[in-house]
Chains A and B, each alone.
Chain A
Amino acid sequence: MSAPVTLITGTRKGIGRHLAEYYCDRGHIVYGCSRGDPGWSRENYKHFVADVSNEGEVKPIFSAIRREHGRLDNLLNNAGIASMNHSILTPMDTVKKIMETNVIGSFLFCREAAKLMKANKYGRIVNFSTVAVPLKLEGEAAYVASKSAVEGLTNVLSREFASFGVTVNVVGPVPIETDLIRAVPKEKIEALVARQAIKRLGQMEDVVNVVDFFLKRESEFITGQSLYLGGV
């Protein structure tokens, strides 16, 4: 069997980079993207500089994958931005940027991926949410709204894409030591962790484990599911 072709968004740093390196090391051909140069490289890894919400910048990624491999097996919609701020203090520009990257970006990649996956009657899409959604976390209204939209999108796409042999699921991580939470006050993180059944920060491996599960060929009967870490 030929090497799986996997596309991951937001690979410059954090979970995206970790996932890209992880799947490269496991023999996948990995395509990644971010708004800037990643500053790292790997055998079997190809990077595109693209804004995930810009159709004109995104479509060439899929054209390249189609030209070079004729198929796409896995899509991990990891790219995301957050804003930790009371809604009263959140500027509209921030809300727009969050929606564009998290919602429009995920939609666009799902749509284009499904076109490639349908031809091969096989595909796995994993979208990224957060435990902030079920926890209804105060101070993250725009971020939670965007990730709720990602979950809704996933639910509908799981049905629309089912006949293509494509599954669409969500992983909802707890806070992990990445740039995304570095700016959040320590007591806020502690309060959040206290609401989990298992009270610790997440590890990259926890996320990888769930993604691995969704990507397995044997997971063909699992779609439209949101799996949260930490027992939330």
Chain B
Amino acid sequence: MQQEIVELIIKTAKELGDEELSLSQELNADTQLFGKDGVLDSMGLVTLIIAVEQAIEDRYEVSVALADEKALSQARSPYRSVTRLAEYAAGQMQDT
């Protein structure tokens, strides 16, 4: 499941395109998304999170809010990397 979501995040980012996300590189599982060395600014992160929530809803018919208190924490932020975000999303989906 988590690997599937990693791929879904990468696909979603690709569909949004460089213009929406101001990305200079294609994402992979290890890409640092946000924070130190992150490829996204805060608006890019918001845009990606909305799109990923909608992509998850479209594929798995489950509605999740990928909102998290620890967004700005270097150590624990679920937005730190693609893998971390996928892990977090999978956890949220299990909780619903």
Contact = CB atoms under 8 A, between A and B. Distances in A.
Q: Are A and B associated in one complex? A: yes
Interface of A: 55-56, 59-60, 62-63, 66, 111, 115, 118-119, 163
Nearest to B57: A63
A55 B65 CA distance: 9
A119 B52 CA distance: 12
A119 B50 contact: yes
Interface in B36-55: 43, 47, 50, 53-54
Interface string B47-78: 10010011001000001010100000000000
Given A63-B57, A66-B57, A163-B43, 15 more contacts: A55-B65, A56-B96, A59-B63, A59-B65, A60-B63, A62-B63, A63-B63, A111-B67, A115-B50, A115-B53, A115-B54, A118-B47, A118-B50, A119-B50, A119-B54
- The interface centre, meaning the residue of A59, A111, A118 with most chain B CB atoms within 10 A of its CB, is A59
Nearest to B47: A118
A60 B96 CA distance: 12
Nearest to B53: A115
Contacts of A119: 50, 54
Contacts of A115: 50, 53-54
- What 5 pairs across the A-B complex have the smallest Cβ distances? A59-B63, A115-B50, A63-B63, A118-B50, A63-B57
19 contacts: A55-B65, A56-B96, A59-B63, A59-B65, A60-B63, A62-B63, A63-B57, A63-B63, A66-B54, A66-B57, A111-B67, A115-B50, A115-B53, A115-B54, A118-B47, A118-B50, A119-B50, A119-B54, A163-B43
A111 B67 CA distance: 10
Interface of B: 43, 47, 50, 53-54, 57, 63, 65, 67, 96
Contacts of A60: 63
B57 to A, nearest CB: 6
A115 B67 CA distance: 12
Contacts of B65: 55, 59
A160 B65 CA distance: 18
Contacts of A66: 54, 57
Contacts of B43: 163
Contacts of A62: 63
A111 B46 CA distance: 11
Contacts of B57: 63, 66
A113 to B, nearest CB: 12
Nearest to B46: A118
A111 B65 CA distance: 10
A60 B65 CA distance: 12
Contacts of A55: 65
A19 B72 CA distance: 40
